[in-house]
Homo-oligomer: A and B are copies of this chain.
Amino acid sequence: MEAEADSVVHEEERDPESNSLNQPLLKRNRTLSTSPLALLLAFLVGLLTGLIATVINLAIENIAGYKLLAIVGFIKEERYLSGIAYFTCVNFLLTLSAAVLCVFFAPTAAGPGIPEIKAYLNGVDTPNMFGATTLPVKIVGSIGAVSAGLDLGKEGPLVHIASCIASLLAQGGPDNYRLKWHWLCYFNNDRDHRDIITCGSSSGVCAAFRAPVGGILFALEEVATWWRSALLWRTFCSMAVVVVVLRAFIEICNSGKCGLFGTGGLIIFDVLRLYNLINQKGKFHKLLLALGVSLFTSVCQYCLPFLAQCRPCDPSFPEACPTNDRAGNFKQFNCPAGHYNDLATLLLTTNDDAVRNIFSSNTSSEFHHTSILIFFVLYCILGLITFGIAVPSGLFLPIILMGSGYGRLLGMLMGSYTNLDQGLFAVLGAASLMSGSMRMTVSVCVIFLELTNNLLLLPITMIVLLIAKTVGDSFNPSIYEIILELKGLPFLDANPEPWMRNLTVAELADAKPPVITLCGIEKVSRIVDVLKNTSHNAFPVVDEDVPVPGTVATGATELHGLILRAHLVQALKKKWFLTEKRRTEEWEVREKFNWVELSERELKIEQVAVTRQEMEMYVDLHPLTNTTPYTVVESMSVAKAMVLFRQVGLRHMLIVPKYQGAGVPAVVGILTRQDLRAYNILTAFPHLASHKEQGKHN
């Protein structure tokens, strides 16, 4: 669980209504973000995603194409050893380039990136996930890794790439060279930033599968934690642009070869653990691991086809046979004229073409069952060892490859009992493995429909997905959840655990160190002290000894609101000190601060120098305070508090007392995401774990 501390560094409340200072600016904000500006951004995200996806497709098609054509030449001249040397070397170099980029320049670009996006949309920020270096590394790395013929795909990476584009567009460029255009402020709050990244992730799926509606559903079902109807509309805009761009380029290419994509790995749990051990040993080991996998893949793909028997071409085949082209359904490879090698058709090709070949219908005699078996076993192994190496890698295509192999094999075994097409079996096998591993139903359904363009398959696909998900659910969580857990990202589940209803937030708060509150007008020395000695990201602001308007009560305490660490640091840095304990006027506030500065995240308390004289001065925290934090009463159950936390998308939640009277504190505690995670609660309250077990057994 060490990674946890790392991944939540950037917790910060950027709520559009944070504090009184921002009101005039932010009033415009909310109006604008539901306006053409947000739509424009969605259009831009779609446009750029479409363009970049096209570039990636073209690059991969060309690199892999020329590589495979060269191999065909070697085989034709019976120079088998030169062939394998060339094949291995090219793949090795491509993997090297991808791995070097990922290891040295942008470690977050390795892997699919989808779990981190899911966590981000749930409220967990992974540092550098959407950075300016991540984007080009992921693009070039994906091209390299996929062209190298590794058992991984570009779907996951495309989702990540599109999210990076969305994030960079919304914040006006990379962190240090940000454009400070005024309208960009409108998106500089958590909600809009999350929305635009959701938009980006759908665009990625859409670009990967050319499945626009599937893309929307993917974002809805798998990625997004919060969803609102305005988002559906914006996502729809992005999809429309992506699909038009892709279609336009296909028309330009005039080749129809911009279709099916994706790779990754499945039974990856233990391998990942091993890889984590290796990866922790340093950058050199990471590189070695990636290159080792590349070598193994190349050798298998090149050598295994020699095991297959050559099969004679049947004149009834709908396509040319044999072929030496890059794609082609009947590769000649090492066979005599008039014969083809069925395993070479599946292995010595791009992953997309392999899927297309194995999905092809009316070809029941094309593949020998041992070839399909070799294909299936090989991709099980490759899927297992490829995921987790330091290159951008998607999970979709490895799962589709594995599933299609298993489906087609089943179709062959059932061949004598049914007249269903083997290609259909392959499609259903792939769909069931997708649903069984990722637990998506609607989106897989639509993605497959959009892939096969055959709506008559809908009922049978739905049944298959139903069974697959049900079986999967009875064994373990979905693959993304497993990855989230492995990476230690504090993801908040949709449903609270049953035992959370027997615990109140007050009990939870009691198990923590007492809450640290600040006064409305606080001494500088205390602020510095608090900031240096705690790592909290927000503090309640409480005014003491105030009169209560409309009543005779005096000497009451007032909960003024919540102040963020970043704003406190800014106040110190700007030296916004008062020599006496007084409230500031509004014009003073406006003079001192502007909103762009306040939203800067990076400043640390250690970087701010405060003289001893200044230590005795005061800061008026009122104008910097978010006066409308969400609160719960101390008797609230943890379960309901968690629902609130997740539904409204909070970072901090204040606990107020249920008692009213002299001497009662205004705030009882403060809860963050970490406090509400089941694992952490069970650590503090071990007796609840037994409840949990009981619940299971009942």
Those of A216-232 within 8 Å (CB) of chain B: 216-217, 220-221, 227-230, 232
- For residue A238, give the distance in angstroms from its CB to the closest CB of chain B: 11
A661 to B502, CA, bound (A): 30
- For residue A57, give the distance in angstroms from its CB to the closest CB of chain B: 17
Contact partner, A659, options B213, B558, B643, B658, Cβ 8 Å: B558
Taking the complex as formed, is A688 at the interface, i.e. its CB lies under 8 A from any CB of chain B?
no
* Chain B residues within an 8 Å CB radius of A501: 17, 23, 27, 30
Those of A468-502 within 8 Å (CB) of chain B: 469, 494-495, 498, 501-502
Taking the complex as formed, is A678 at the interface, i.e. its CB lies under 8 A from any CB of chain B?
no
Contact partner, A494, options B228, B498, B636, Cβ 8 Å: B228
Q: Among the listed stretches A105-113, A438-446, A582-590, which one makes contact with chain B, having 4 or more residues with CB under 8 Å of it? A: A438-446
Taking the complex as formed, is A664 at the interface, i.e. its CB lies under 8 A from any CB of chain B?
yes
> Quick one: CB contact mask for A21-50 with B, threshold 8 Å, 1 for yes?
001000110110010000000000000000
Taking the complex as formed, is A632 at the interface, i.e. its CB lies under 8 A from any CB of chain B?
yes
Contact partner, A663, options B213, B553, B639, B647, Cβ 8 Å: B553
Residue pair A559, B243 in contact (C-beta under 8 Å): no
A244-B459, A640-B628, A644-B630 given as contacts; is B554 within 8 A of A498 (CB)? Answer: no
A28 to B637, CA, bound (A): 16
- Smallest Cβ-Cβ distance to A210: which chain B residue: B458
Q: Among the listed stretches A155-163, A343-351, A447-455, which one makes contact with chain B, having 4 or more residues with CB under 8 Å of it? A: A447-455
A462 to B640, CA, bound (A): 40
* Chain B residues within an 8 Å CB radius of A494: 228-230
Q: Among the listed stretches A252-260, A267-275, A518-526, A544-552, which one makes contact with chain B, having 4 or more residues with CB under 8 Å of it? A: A544-552
> Quick one: CB contact mask for A543-585 with B, threshold 8 Å, 1 for yes?
0001010011111111111000000000000000000000000
A240-B466, A247-B459, A459-B243 given as contacts; is B657 within 8 A of A660 (CB)? Answer: yes
A546-B659, A639-B17, A658-B559 given as contacts; is B458 within 8 A of A212 (CB)? Answer: yes
Residue pair B660, A458 in contact (C-beta under 8 Å): no
- For residue A222, give the distance in angstroms from its CB to the closest CB of chain B: 9
Taking the complex as formed, is A233 at the interface, i.e. its CB lies under 8 A from any CB of chain B?
yes
A459-B240, A459-B247, A628-B640 given as contacts; is B233 within 8 A of A441 (CB)? Answer: yes
Residue pair A498, B17 in contact (C-beta under 8 Å): no
Q: Which one of A247, A456, A462, A498 has the greatest number of beta carbons of chain B within 10 Å?
A: A462
Q: Told that A216-B442, A628-B640, A660-B664 touch, could you supply 17 new A-B pairs with CB distance under 8 A?
A: A23-B502, A30-B501, A31-B695, A221-B229, A232-B441, A236-B466, A240-B466, A450-B458, A548-B661, A553-B659, A556-B661, A558-B660, A631-B631, A659-B666, A660-B665, A661-B662, A662-B662
26 sampled A-B residue pairs with Cβ under 8 A = A17-B501, A28-B698, A213-B217, A216-B442, A227-B227, A229-B494, A232-B442, A236-B445, A236-B465, A244-B459, A244-B462, A455-B455, A546-B659, A552-B663, A556-B659, A556-B662, A558-B660, A559-B633, A559-B635, A561-B635, A628-B633, A628-B636, A630-B644, A644-B644, A657-B660, A660-B661
